[in-house]
Structures are given as structure tokens and as C-alpha cells.
């Protein structure tokens, strides 16, 4: 293992926790990455050493220090996302929060109200737009799949004068791999539409975000890269940001309220106009620390490590009779996870996931089974559910080998 990765792995105390006396073999990092000590320390430090309120509300030293730390965190996040400026970054509680914000703030008009979704959108992105569609405010179109990837050749046919927004999941949380974001962004732009990229599964192992690849908006979740829960950000390109209408307003989002023939609020505009109320300052400090630590380990190193694990898993699991690995080797190597589906009758992925947790002496092997909140992907592909193995820096090929041996044993048993 690369030295920088080995050093990074000392940041994850949960790897040494025993669960009911059993050692954790964690293969569910797509759900959430285990948390880093440096991120927890930074969050704790912000809470306990400072613990005041930022947001330019107060003018004493504690408040200024909170605010400075918050803005420093924003610069770190802007770097991760490839944003042109920290002013294009809105702190959120993660991708779900970001997608709800975008959907409900987006300047849809009667003439431009169509949203094209990739078939791999997570419910975090799909459902906010589905709600708007149910209320008659937008019309949804879903790209077809070609194999297990969105068919970008079909995108021009779905784009038109009425297309307002294209949503493209940058790296799928069910089928793995990564999408050709640059191409999709160029097609959307040519049709006068904007492109939103869900970077939830992309940022943790690729680093540089979608802004650099031409997305007009993108989002990631901090907990998926080892930072505290309910942290993350939405990047919005300056020109689009100016057109969004904040759907959540409150303290910190107005210049003032006047009484001139009725109450009138004058909103501040810009990214901070979307950060209503007291913010998660401590979470932002933890998030910045996590990003900084990953940068120090090197996203190139992280990518190489995780990619190697996926390739190895593809080879090993393809040799197991009774299950099928979804996707080809080269495409999967671009992501950080893979899914398998049972081919043997009577195999329940859920039962097997429970078996993995409790039936192997001394070990708790954690994998995810089901639809992974990727209902569109399941409906588009006909895949009912999968068993998903997802990787981060703390995994080794031994984890896959363990999983594969238990799987072979289980298949012989049923
Ligand atoms: C691709 C993708 N998008 C969005 C989400 C939602 O992220 P969060 O729950 O952090 O908002 C997930 C979570 O699994 C995901 O995998």
C-alpha cells in the first residue's frame, strides 16, 4: 500500500472498533465513509474553543473568528469543487439538501420547464423534481440506458427549446463507473439549458469537482468523504446563481425589512442569500479538515488505490458461479464500487447481507443490499436489487477475498 494512503488510514478509528466483539470489514463506503479523526477534532475544536455565531451578525472577536474560519472552509470547498470563486459555494447539509434547494429555487418558466434526468439519479435528486412535476411546475424526461450507463447519444433528442435543466449523476451509487460529464454539459449548454451534477459518489475518490468539467451546478456530501454528517455544499456558477430565487429565507438573507405601504424585504442575493439562519460552522470546520487531509494524501493516490480494488473485485467475483457482476472492467475502474446480482434461485441479497454481518466468526462484513435509493436505475434497467461492494482507502484486496469466500460458502449452502 502506498505510504500516503497507509498514513491516511490511521485517521479512521472505527476500523479498530469491535462490533459485538467482531472486527469490522467495511464495504459500504458509498453509503458513508467512516469518519476521520482530524475532521472530528476540527469540529470539536470549533464547538468547544469557539462555539459562537458567525454570519456577520455580530462584531466582537469571537464572532469574527467563527466567520473567518467559515470563509476559510468555503475556500477549501471551492477548491474541491473546481469553483471559480468561493462566492459560488453554498453550504448545505449534503446532496439531498442541495438538490431540494436547486429544484425549488430554479428559475423555471412556462416556456422553459423541462428537466432531463439521467436514469441513474439517486432519489435525493430525482424526488425533488418529481414533486415539482406532480405539482405541474415542470415536465420530466428520463434518458434511456445503454447497457448500464446513460445513453448520451440520445440526449440531443430529449433536449429542446423547453429544456431548462439536465441532471447527471457523475458516478453512480448502484452501477459504479463515472459519466461523461463534459460531453453532457456541452450538449446542455448548446440547447440553452443548465447542467447539474450529483458528485456524491465522485468527490470522495476523484477530488476535483464537476465545475471544472463544465457543470453549472454540482453538489457533494461531506459524510461521504470522512467529514461530519450534515455537511456539504452546492456549487452554482455565478451567472445561474444570480437567477435562482432562494426557497428558504430567514436570518442572514436580508439587507433589511421596511414598511412602505406594506412590509417589504430586500434580499441580499449571492450565495449567502441561500444560507438562512445560523449555519453549521463546526461542521464546515470538520469538512475543511477532511478535504485538506484527503488532499494531503493525494487524490491521485486515492483514485489509484480504489480503482485497483474495483478491478481486483471484478476479477475475483466474476469467478464466482451463481452471481453476476454488473458492468465491464474498464468502466467500473473509473468508479469506486461494483454491484453483483444473484443468478441462483432462492438467493436473497438481504439474507446474505445479514449472514455476512453475523455468521463469520470474529468478523462483521458490512455490505449493502437492495435498490440503494436508485429507483430510476432499477426501473430503467430491470435490475430488481443488487449487492453492492463499495471501497475507500482503508480497504484491501483481502476484504474482497473474504467476501468472495463467504459468498461461495453461502451459495453452496442454499
Ligand atoms: C449518488 C448519490 N446522490 C445523493 C445521495 C444522497 O446523499 P445525502 O444523503 O448525503 O444527502 C447519495 C447517498 O447515498 C448518493 O449515493
Q: Are strands 114-117 and 163-169 parallel, antiparallel or unpaired?
A: parallel
Q: What mean pLDDT is reported for the chain?
A: 96
* pLDDT value for 219: 97
- For the Cβ of 121 lying below 6 angstroms from any atom of ligand 1, the answer is no
β-bridge partners, 168: 197
- For the Cβ of 173 lying below 6 angstroms from any atom of ligand 1, the answer is yes
Question: Are the C-beta atoms of residues 163 and 113 closer than 8 Å to each other?
Answer: no
* pLDDT value for 359: 86
Question: Are the C-beta atoms of residues 293 and 226 closer than 8 Å to each other?
Answer: yes
Cell of 107: 428559475
Rounded to whole angstroms, the Cα distance separating 160 from 18 reads 55
Mean pLDDT on 149-175: 97
* pLDDT value for 57: 78
Rounded to whole angstroms, the Cα distance separating 216 from 193 reads 9
Q: What is the pLDDT of residues 100-150, one digit of tens each?
A: 999 999 999 999 999 999 999 999 999 999 999 999 999 999 999 999 999
Centre of ligand 1 to C-alpha 165, Å, is: 19
Whether residue 260 has pLDDT greater than 90: no
- For the Cβ of 124 lying below 6 angstroms from any atom of ligand 1, the answer is yes
Centre of ligand 1 to C-alpha 197, Å, is: 12
Cβ-Cβ contacts under 8 Å for 163 (sequence gap 6 or more)? 112, 114, 115, 116, 188, 191, 192, 193
Question: Are the C-beta atoms of residues 4 and 297 closer than 8 Å to each other?
Answer: yes
SS3 content of the chain, % helix, strand, coil (to 5): 45, 20, 35
Cβ-Cβ contacts under 8 Å for 356 (sequence gap 6 or more)? 365, 366, 367, 403, 406
Only one residue has cell 468527490, namely 203
Which atom, in ligand 1's list, is nearest to the CA of 221?
10
- Residue 167 phi, psi (nearest 5): -110, 120
- For the Cβ of 201 lying below 6 angstroms from any atom of ligand 1, the answer is yes
* pLDDT value for 15: 93
Cell of 278: 445560523
Centre of ligand 1 to C-alpha 200, Å, is: 6
- For the Cβ of 100 lying below 6 angstroms from any atom of ligand 1, the answer is no
Only one residue has cell 420530466, namely 140
Cell of 49: 474553543
Run of H or E including 273: none
Rounded to whole angstroms, the Cα distance separating 264 from 241 reads 22
Whether residue 242 has pLDDT greater than 90: yes
At residue 58 the predicted structure's pLDDT band, cuts being 50, 70 and 90, is: confident
* pLDDT value for 55: 75
Rounded to whole angstroms, the Cα distance separating 185 from 191 reads 10
Q: What is the pLDDT of residues 296-353, one digit of tens each?
A: 999 999 999 999 999 999 999 999 999 999 999 999 999 999 999 999 888 999 999 9
At residue 59 the predicted structure's pLDDT band, cuts being 50, 70 and 90, is: confident
Where would I find the beta strands (DSSP E) of 306-377?
323-325, 337-342, 363-366, 368-370
* pLDDT value for 29: 98
The proportion of the chain whose per-residue pLDDT surpasses 70, expressed as a percent, equals: 100
Rounded to whole angstroms, the Cα distance separating 147 from 154 reads 13
338's torsion region: left (phi>0), alpha (psi -120 to 50) or beta? beta
Cell of 7: 498514513
At residue 87 the predicted structure's pLDDT band, cuts being 50, 70 and 90, is: very high
At residue 292 the predicted structure's pLDDT band, cuts being 50, 70 and 90, is: very high
Instruction: Write out the DSSP string of 240-272.
Output: HHTT---SS--TTSEEEEEESSSEEEEE--SGG
Domain with CATH 3.90.1150.10 in the chain: 3-30+298-413
Q: What is the dihedral of CA 3, 288, 304, 27, to 10 degrees?
A: 100
Q: Which residue among 102, 170, 221 has the greatest number of ligand 1 atoms within 8 angstroms of its CB, and so is best to mutate?
A: 221
Only one residue has cell 470522495, namely 204
Q: What is the pLDDT of residues 27-43, one digit of tens each?
A: 999 999 999 999 999 99
Centre of ligand 1 to C-alpha 124, Å, is: 6
β-bridge partners, 218: 197, 235
Nearest to 94 by CA among 365, 260, 290, 284: 284
Nearest-5° Cα angle at 147, 141 to 150? 35
Nearest residue (by CA) to ligand 1, atom 7, is: 95
Report domain 39-295's class: alpha beta
Whether residue 71 has pLDDT greater than 90: yes
State whether CATH 3.90.1150.10 applies to domain 3-30+298-413.
yes
Helix, strand or coil for residue 107? coil
Question: Are the C-beta atoms of residues 390 and 372 closer than 8 Å to each other?
Answer: no
Q: What is the pLDDT of residues 179-233, one digit of tens each?
A: 999 999 999 999 999 999 999 999 999 997 778 899 999 999 999 999 999 999 9
Where would I find the beta strands (DSSP E) of 192-336?
194-198, 217-221, 232-236, 254-259, 263-267, 323-325
**Comparison of pLDDT for 38 and 360, the residue scoring more:** 38
The proportion of the chain whose per-residue pLDDT surpasses 90, expressed as a percent, equals: 93
Whether residue 50 has pLDDT greater than 90: yes
Centre of ligand 1 to C-alpha 113, Å, is: 25
Domain with CATH 3.40.640.10 in the chain: 39-295
Amino acid at each position: 500500500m502506498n505510504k500516503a494512503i497507509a498514513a491516511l488510514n490511521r485517521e479512521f478509528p472505527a476500523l479498530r472498533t469491535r462490533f459485538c466483539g467482531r472486527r469490522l470489514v467495511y464495504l459500504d463506503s458509498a453509503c458513508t465513509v467512516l469518519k476521520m479523526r482530524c475532521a472530528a477534532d476540527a469540529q470539536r475544536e470549533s464547538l468547544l474553543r469557539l462555539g459562537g455565531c458567525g454570519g456577520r451578525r455580530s462584531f466582537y472577536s469571537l464572532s469574527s473568528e467563527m466567520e473567518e474560519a467559515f470563509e476559510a472552509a468555503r475556500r477549501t470547498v471551492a477548491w474541491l469543487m473546481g469553483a471559480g470563486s468561493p462566492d459560488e459555494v453554498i453550504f448545505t447539509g449534503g446532496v439531498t439538501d442541495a438538490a431540494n434547494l436547486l429544484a425549488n429555487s430554479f428559475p423555471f418558466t412556462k416556456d422553459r420547464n423541462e428537466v432531463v434526468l439521467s436514469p441513474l439519479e439517486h432519489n435525493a435528486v430525482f424526488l425533488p423534481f418529481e414533486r415539482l412535476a406532480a405539482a405541474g411546475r415542470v415536465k420530466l424526461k428520463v434518458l434511456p440506458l445503454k447497457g448500464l450507463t446513460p445513453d448520451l447519444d440520445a440526449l440531443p433528442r430529449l433536449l429542446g427549446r423547453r429544456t431548462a435543466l439536465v441532471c447527471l449523476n457523475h458516478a453512480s451509487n448502484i452501477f459504479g463507473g463515472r459519466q461523461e460529464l463534459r460531453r453532457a454539459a456541452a450538449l446542455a449548454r448548446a440547447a440553452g439549458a443548465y447542467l447539474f451534477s450529483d458528485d456524491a459518489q465522485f468527490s470522495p475518490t476523484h477530488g476535483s469537482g464537476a465545475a471544472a468539467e463544465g457543470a453549472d451546478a454540482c453538489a457533494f456530501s461531506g459524510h461521504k468523504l470522512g467529514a461530519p454528517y450534515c455537511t456539504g455544499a452546492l456549487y452554482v456558477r455565478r451567472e445561474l446563481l444570480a437567477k435562482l430565487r432562494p426557497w428558504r429565507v430567514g436570518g442572514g438573507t436580508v439587507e433589511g425589512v421596511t414598511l412602505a405601504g406594506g412590509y417589504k424585504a430586500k434580499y441580499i442575493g449571492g450565495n449567502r442569500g441561500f444560507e438562512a439562519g445560523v449555519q453549521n460552522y463546526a461542521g464546515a470546520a470538520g469538512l475543511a479538515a477532511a478535504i485538506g487531509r484527503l488532499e494531503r494524501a493525494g487524490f491521485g493516490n486515492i483514485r489509484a488505490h480504489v480503482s485497483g480494488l474495483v478491478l481486483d473485485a471484478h476479477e475475483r467475483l466474476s469467478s464466482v458461479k451463481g452471481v453476476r457482476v454488473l458492468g465491464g472492467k474498464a468502466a467500473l475502474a473509473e468508479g469506486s464500487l461494483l454491484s453483483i446480482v444473484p443468478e441462483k434461485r432462492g438467493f436473497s441479497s438481504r439474507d446474505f447481507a445479514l449472514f455476512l454481518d453475523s455468521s463469520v466468526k470474529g468478523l462483521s462484513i458490512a455490505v449493502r443490499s437492495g435498490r440503494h435509493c436508485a429507483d430510476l436505475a432499477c426501473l430503467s434497467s430491470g435490475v430488481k436489487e443488487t449487492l453492492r461492494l463499495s471501497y475507500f482507502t482503508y480497504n484491501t484486496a483481502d476484504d474482497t477475498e473474504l467476501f468472495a469466500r463467504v459468498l461461495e460458502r453461502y451459495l453452496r449452502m442454499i
